[in-house]
Amino acid sequence: MTDAATPATTSATETTAGAASGPTLRRGALGLPHAIVISVAVMSPAASIFFNTIPQAGLAGAAIPLCYLVGFVVALLVANQYSELSRELPSSGSAYTFVTEGIGPRFGFLTAWIGLAALGLGAPYSFILMSANLETLMNRWFGFELAWPAYFVLAIGVVFALCYWGIRQSLRIDLFLLTVEIGICVLLAVVVLLHVGAGGGLSAVPFTTAGVPQGGDLTVGIVLAVLSFIGFETAATLGEETRDPHRNIPRAVYGSMIVVGAFYIFMAYAATVGYGIDHMATGYAKDAAPFDTIARHFGGPAFAALIDVVGLLSFFSAALAIVNGGARILFAVGRDGALPRWLAKTHPKRQTPIAGVAALCLVGLVAGLGLGALLTPITAFAFFGTLDAILVLLIYVLVNVACIAFFWRKRRARFNALRHGVVPALGLLVTAGIVAAAVASPGPAPLSYIPLVVAGWLALGLLLLALTRGRVAA
């Protein structure tokens, strides 16, 4: 059997050479910590555990920690593919590059097309609920009345300025926000566990199916936990700016997953025993701000206010990382010509992908204000979040397939049956299953329109692919 490594090496070399001849980012400017920070920030750990656990409680009851434990294992299945592919193909294009090299340019274009919509939704998804919460909190704390769109516009402007400033500087801001965010959350969890433990209230029930309420659904609870890990792959977008990317990007993918996975499980357990194992399905699931309630009970009004601020910081940190990572994907796709080449424009001195940053901020501004006004901020948040999750999961499906195809066809000598066969196949089954379940039962209107939106976007992408097939080589 002929070793297929030679053509793959040629392809990767050609890709690197093409990147070098066009616009470039600042190579070697980042280290392993920067790559971990951007992935952790996109997962918005505090906001995810604050809000995603509310619907989970109605389905899984006191078994939320079990959901996150299983969800962590499931998410690791997909993380394996990003780790393996980024070791071979470090590129700002991330999934676009992986799918292009693994399955072909046409599927790479579709990945970029799906990613374009997902990236456009990222910033408004994070900012719209942040802005609505900030409006409420400013009125509650200071009696200051300013409509949420003003905060939304201000937040977009600040993110644009930070991303324009530079990747190192903006990631330094993200690191500071994450340190505050995670530190305060962990402090609350420790206080809760000490109080509950002193009263003999600690229990292993949250890690068993005994905590699931009658008529509940542990499977859907696990799916919601898996969705909380979306964004772990963002480290791969720094592949062209990170030192020793072949080693550091795979480490960052797993490192971010371990940090956030441990955080989710720890916080979910503290929230469950703090709110009360017997009150999760009946109380927590109906509480608009359960962590505010927990903080108020165990730490008083000042601690509750601090937790409210943490939620705002988490959303902002996520949006900043989303725009930074997303702009680099648009840069790589534009540089390759799969999308308009002006998206590859970089700042002449800072070497930041300024065109991609501007495009994401502009799309986010229009989409967030438009849908937020048409619906309500809360409804728009749910719509954007669900739609974004389905789009990202579709990309995961393609990356799973690309991993198997790439190593089988182009790295046959290094093909590992477990890492490049069994694990990607399991990841494919899980991600495709979640997409199918979400499309089959998206929820009430306007969520019920999401399958049509996804189908319409895919159809438009296929039409563009057909019209440009001369430019997108087979």
Tens-digit pLDDT profile for residues 93-121: 999 999 999 999 999 999 999 999 998 88
pLDDT at res. 459: 96
pLDDT at res. 259: 95
pLDDT at res. 472: 60
What are the extents of the domains in the chain?
25-467
pLDDT at res. 6: 35
| DSSP annotation of 208 | S
CA 45 to the chain's CA centroid: 10
Q: Taking a C-beta distance cutoff of 8 angstroms, is the pair 206, 64 a contact?
A: yes
Across the range 154-182, mean pLDDT stands at 95
Q: What percent of the chain has pLDDT over 70?
A: 94
CA distance 458 to 192: 47
- Show Cβ contacts of residue 418 under 8 Å, excluding neighbours closer than 6 positions: none
**pLDDT greater than 60 at residue 50:** yes
**pLDDT greater than 60 at residue 323:** yes
**pLDDT greater than 80 at residue 236:** yes
pLDDT at res. 66: 97
Across the range 275-303, mean pLDDT stands at 95
**pLDDT greater than 50 at residue 171:** yes
pLDDT at res. 339: 84
Q: How confident is the model at residue 34 (pLDDT cuts 50, 70, 90)?
A: very high
**pLDDT greater than 80 at residue 332:** yes
Query: For the segment 291-319, what is each residue's pLDDT rounded down to a tens digit?
Result: 999 999 999 999 999 999 999 999 999 99
**pLDDT greater than 70 at residue 205:** yes
pLDDT at res. 470: 52
pLDDT at res. 18: 42
pLDDT at res. 473: 53
Across the range 447-470, mean pLDDT stands at 90
Query: For the segment 349-371, what is each residue's pLDDT rounded down to a tens digit?
Result: 889 999 999 999 999 999 999 98
pLDDT at res. 19: 46
pLDDT at res. 354: 95
**pLDDT greater than 90 at residue 239:** yes
Q: Report which of residues 405 and 443 the model is more confident about.
A: 405
Across the range 31-39, mean pLDDT stands at 96
**pLDDT greater than 80 at residue 173:** yes
pLDDT at res. 1: 37
Across the range 182-194, mean pLDDT stands at 97
The superfamily (CATH) of domain 25-467 is Amino acid/polyamine transporter I (1.20.1740.10)
Q: Over the chain, what is the mean pLDDT?
A: 91
CA distance 387 to 375: 15
- Show Cβ contacts of residue 49 under 8 Å, excluding neighbours closer than 6 positions: 185, 228, 263, 264, 267, 268, 271, 291
3-state secondary structure the chain: CCCCHHHHHHHHHHHHHHHHHCCCCCCCCECHHHHHHHHHHHCCHHHHHHHCHHHHHHHHHHHHHHHHHHHHHHHHHHHHHHHHHHHHCCCCCCHHHHHHHHCCHHHHHHHHHHHHHHHHHHHHHHHHHHHHHHHHHHHHHHCCCCCHHHHHHHHHHHHHHHHHHCHHHHHHHHHHHHHHHHHHHHHHHHHHHHHHHHCCCCCCHHHCHHHCCCCCCHHHHHHHHHHCCCCHHHHHHHCCCECCHHHHHHHHHHHHHHHHHHHHHHHHHHHHHHHCHHHCCCCHHHCCCHHHHHHHHHHCHHHHHHHHHHHHHHHHHHHHHHHHHHHHHHHHHHHHCCCCHHHHCCCCCCCCCHHHHHHHHHHHHHHHHHHHHHCCHHHHHHHHHHHHHHHHHHHHHHHHHHHHHHHHHHCHHHCCCHHHHHHHHHHHHHHHHHHHHHHHCCCCCCHHHHHHHHHHHHHHHHHHHHHCCCCCCC
**pLDDT greater than 80 at residue 404:** yes
